[in-house]
Structure 1
Amino acid sequence: MAPDSLTKPQMCSLLAKRLRFHIVGALTVSLGVATFCKFAVAEPRKKAYADFYRNYDSTKHFEEM
């Protein structure tokens, strides 16, 4: 087995290639988490506040206190 038959490792632009891959992955994961939080947390919370204040009577609440 001759030493010339071994493939040389890629050294030129290896960091840029790996960073590009990891940045795309990080952006994809962060957008997924942000979308999940919006529809799983924020929208139900806004709906709950809207439902509460739809029938809320501040005068009645003040009299009870």
Structure 2
Amino acid sequence: MGAAAPQMRGFLVSRFKRDMVISLVASICTVTAWRLFYVNPRKQRYADFYKTYDINADYERMKAAGVFQSVSPDE
């Protein structure tokens, strides 16, 4: 008995279907992990920062440091 004959007809189509399913599952897993472990924590850090952020105090600090050319630090 010899080896089984290789599949010649429809091989590309069957392989393509299998590969598309694998790539779809992998991409869904990757997007879910990215969203859970990168996007959501980043959004939460921004929200936490802006809860206590005082724009006027930050402006006064930068003005006193001389960051702005149009406003002198002693004004």
The correspondence for 2:7, drawn from 10, 26, 29, is 10
| Greater helix fraction, Structure 1 or Structure 2 | 1
Structure 1 counterpart of 2:8, which letter? M
C-alpha separation in 2, matches of 1:53 and 1:61 = 12
Instruction: Give every structure 1 segment of 4 or more consecutive aligned residues whose post-TM-superposition deviation is greater than 6 Å.
Output: none
User: Is 2:40 the counterpart of 1:43?
Assistant: yes
Structure 1 counterpart of 2:16, which letter? L
Unpaired segments of 5 or more residues in structure 1? none
Q: Which has the higher contact order (CA 8 A, sep 6+)?
A: 2
Q: CA RMSD in A?
A: 1.4
C-alpha separation in 2, matches of 1:8 and 1:48 = 59
Alpha-carbon deviations, 1:8-41, whole Å to 9, x = none? 3211101100000001000100110000000000
Unpaired segments of 5 or more residues in structure 2? 63-75
Structure 2 counterpart of 1:18, which letter? R
C-alpha separation in 1, matches of 2:3 and 2:24 = 37
Query: What is the aligned length?
Result: 62
The correspondence for 1:63, drawn from 57, 60, 67, is 60
TM-score by length of 2: 0.76
Q: What percentage of aligned pairs have identical amino acids?
A: 35
